Amino acid sequence: MRQVRSAISTTPTPPPSASTLTRPGGRAYPRGGVISENGGLRSTRWFGAHDLSGFIHRASIHAEGISRSALAGRPVIGICNSWSELVHCNLHFRSLAESVKRGILQAGGLPLEFPTISLGENLMKPTTMLFRNL
């Protein structure tokens, strides 16, 4: 065990640069920025497009009560939440998702929460392992 600790302590890794990070493939991208090929927001490509697809995306988001000005120049960030009253392991996810939403709003983004399947060991028969890839 001491050999492992000494090997870890003798090979320090340099901290990443404050301005850029590197992906495993070697491509660098700006830290704290939005990663996209054209340099713009991905949400702008979705909601700002002047074609049928952009119209459908804007119409669906406006139907939820989100205005055009709320979308302008802000990243849209999805929050996947498996909160459920029936699954006691996931009860804390509701407050966690609310905290994440507040953080996204404070950072200038637009948070959108969406549900996902909530697996409860006591309710799933024969086992939840059959649904783990969902």
56-91 tens-digit pLDDT: 999 999 999 999 888 888 899 999 998 888 777 888
- Spatial distance between the Cα atoms of 81 and 4, rounded to a whole number of angstroms: 39
pTM, 2 dp? 0.60
Bridge partners of residue 134, in order along the sequence: none
For residue 39, give the amino acid letter: G
For residue 110, count other CB atoms closer than 10 A to its CB: 19
Read off the DSSP letter of residue 123: T
CA-based end-to-end distance of the chain: 39
For residue 127, count other CB atoms closer than 10 A to its CB: 10
Give counts: helices (H), strands (E), the chain. Answer: 5, 4
Q: Which of the pair, 123 or 32, is modelled with greater confidence? A: 123
Does the structure show a pLDDT above 80 at 48?
yes
Query: Residue 37 in 3-state DSSP?
Result: coil
- Spatial distance between the Cα atoms of 36 and 75, rounded to a whole number of angstroms: 12
Does the structure show a pLDDT above 80 at 99?
yes
User: For residue 25, what pLDDT is reported?
Assistant: 62
